[in-house]
Structure 1
Amino acid sequence: MSFFTLNQFNIHQILRSLTEQGFASVPLLQEEGRLALLREAESLNYLPDVKVVGTGDRIVRTEYSAWETFTDTSLYTQLMQDFQALMNQAIGSLQDSPFAIPLQFNSMVLQRYEPGQLGITPHRDSLRAINLVCIFNISGQASLYRCDDRQGTNSVQIDTTPGHVVFMRAPGFMGTNDRPFHYVTDIRSTRYSLGLRQRRSD
């Protein structure tokens, strides 16, 4: 199955947006592939992820469900492999790589957000996530924001139209250690999203 439509995939524009804003949102999934991914997502048995992490002014609250046990025959496994190949080709076309070490996705989590759930409050990704975080919007309506801190200061909404992929920079991108704050809220219909990350091996 072919997942991607590349008419708006421009690695130079993506890198520029990542540098200037910390994120980029690009329509990338073909509709046939997106619907096939949605059918698989709807067939899985998710584990609830409802918790409060941290203390004081560093508290993060989450309320959603997640799945991360993918078989070799899963469409999501194929998606990660195909996206890795796409990124390898795009980065290989550049004079210099924007990453301190080669980009290699090795973590994949599918999340389900349902109407009435909290979502996730402003937070930063783990320090173990490096180079680039990519969020595939499979279906549903919810609001994703980038902000400056855990209070949601200077929130900027990111396009999460189904079929869009959100790119967010992580430590190792362009020699920085930046981890953008972001949050998910206002869940209006069941939202499925896939997060791809590169996690440190140490």
Structure 2
Amino acid sequence: MSRGNSFFISQFDMAAVLAALSRDGAVSVPLLAQSATVSLAAAAERCSYQPEVKTVGAADRIVKTEYSACEQVSDVGLYAEFQQAFQALLDESFQKIDPYPFSSKLALNSLVLQRYEPGQLGITPHRDSSGAVNLIAIVNLSGVAEFYRCDDRQGAHAVQLDTTPGNVIFLRAPGFLSTVVRPFHFVTGIRSIRYSLGLRQRVESL
């Protein structure tokens, strides 16, 4: 078995993921092998993080954040290898999907680690930037926190998604099924230090 394959469990139904994204906007699926999850989490603990404590927006568009992020992840080593393997897994899965679900070729070119600590707010209901297109993947590495998909900035009709380490939360983004839908979501209820890895396709803001 190649190292790329060793990151993932064997069962992965992309058609079911796409159906859930079309219906709900977000879905969590078990995807990483336990050994890979442990290795990636250990590497995340060794990274250097910068605080993301701020309030942006105004009136009914306010978003508050309280966590730390690491955007300067080495382009060599474990995370680079994982990013390449994850992209290859998706490419292989989409070869079986007709028609292709995105307006442009999916190419995940942004990797960011996030750390949430007990007592921190997390992040209030928000949508990702319109500069993140096609598909967003949030890889749960370790810790206990709550991740919700909701309908608006007030958190209406919130639906909790599974944040078990090894699960990947997929969210649709502009370009999925020729739409510009960006689902609202938020992180709260941090009960132990949570590390997650975000993979996105970044382009200039639409």
Q: TM-score, normalised by structure 1?
A: 0.97
Is the aligned partner of 1:119 residue 2:122?
yes
For residue 186 of structure 1, give the secondary structure of its aligned residue in structure 2: strand
Distance 2:90 2:79 in 1: 16
The answer for the alignment partner of 2:40 in structure 1 is: 37
Distance 1:112 1:74 in 2: 20
Is the aligned partner of 1:13 residue 2:38?
no
The answer for the alignment partner of 1:92 in structure 2 is: 95
Residues 30-179 of structure 1 mapped to structure 2, 5 A cutoff: 30-179=33-182
Distance 2:204 2:94 in 1: 22
| Structure 2 unpaired stretches of 5+ | none
| Sequence identity percentage | 55
Count of aligned pairs between the two proteins: 201
Q: 2:54 touches 2:66 (CA, 8 Å); kept in 1?
A: yes
RMSD: 1.0
Distance 1:72 1:21 in 2: 33
| Structure 1 unpaired stretches of 5+ | none
Amino acid at match of 2:9: T
For residue 81 of structure 1, give the secondary structure of its aligned residue in structure 2: helix
Task: Please say which of residues 149-158 and 65-74 is displaced more in the overlay.
Answer: 65-74
Distance 2:186 2:27 in 1: 15
How much does 1:38 deviate? 1.0
Distance 1:54 1:95 in 2: 40
Picking from 4, 9, 16, the partner of 2:8 is 4
